Amino acid sequence: MKRSNIESIELKKMGFFYDPEKKVFSDVNFKFNPGEILYIQGPRGSGKNTLFKLLLGILSPQEGEYLINGTCVNDFSFSEFDRFRLNMGHSFDVGGLINNQSLYENFRLLLDYHDFLEPAERFDYIVQMMERFQLENQKHLRPAFISSSARKAACVLRAFSLKPEVVILDNPTQGMSMEHIPNLVELIKEHQDRYTLKYVIISSDDVGLINQLPGRIVNVTATGLAN
């Protein structure tokens, strides 16, 4: 499937709940600004993970509208949303790698499935990506046989594999080696400057990361996203 460009992202009067008696979000209005680093903060259970799943089309709002390029995507099927999802890279706080596949295979599966690059180019491309986080010597190991820090770095790095326009990262530095944080900052800046990255949305209160990669801090509440 051909990916669709993402020119604008907006939530209008958006509401979502798992239990109708206790809404996670109600009447949320928020416009994401291209070119902006956005830090999403809030206590555990405030809805950060749910917000990310809504943005990725994994969940759909029950109220209001989720707009991409001015089009409401609430009722898109999972496959219909794929044309936008192809332009979204993401890593969640926990998980993200297939345990019975090597690190290299985890990256290769993504590229093969979406037919990204010519097959002969994919090996060198993946190894060059891994070199950013010193993972190249572990490329043939399965996730269970590498350190938790290396697994976290691989999950975050994989979000950039398809050179997306939107990157959504859930606590990217939690569990990541301190030496890799400058590499993450450099990776984000490079994708902004050289490639197509427009929207960077990060769940984090890591002061070190925010100091190296300044952005706008937004707090998640049941009624919206507030500065």
pTM reported for the whole predicted model = 0.94
Reading the block at residue 1, the tokens are: 């499937």
DSSP string covering 25-69: EEEEEEEEPTT-EEEEE--TTSSHHHHHHHHTTSS--SEEEEEET
Q: Which residues does residue 217 pair with via DSSP β-bridges, in sequence order?
A: 39
What is the domain partition of the chain in residue ranges?
9-226
Residues 112-164: pLDDT tens digits?
A: 999 999 999 999 999 999 999 999 999 999 999 999 999 999 999 999 999 99
The model's pLDDT over 36-69, given as tens digits with 9 standing for 90+, comes to: 999 999 988 889 999 999 999 999 999 999 999 9
The topology under which CATH files domain 9-226 is: Rossmann fold (3.40.50)
CA–CA gap between residue 59 and residue 33 (Å, rounded): 22
- The two beta strands, 63-68 and 166-170, are unpaired
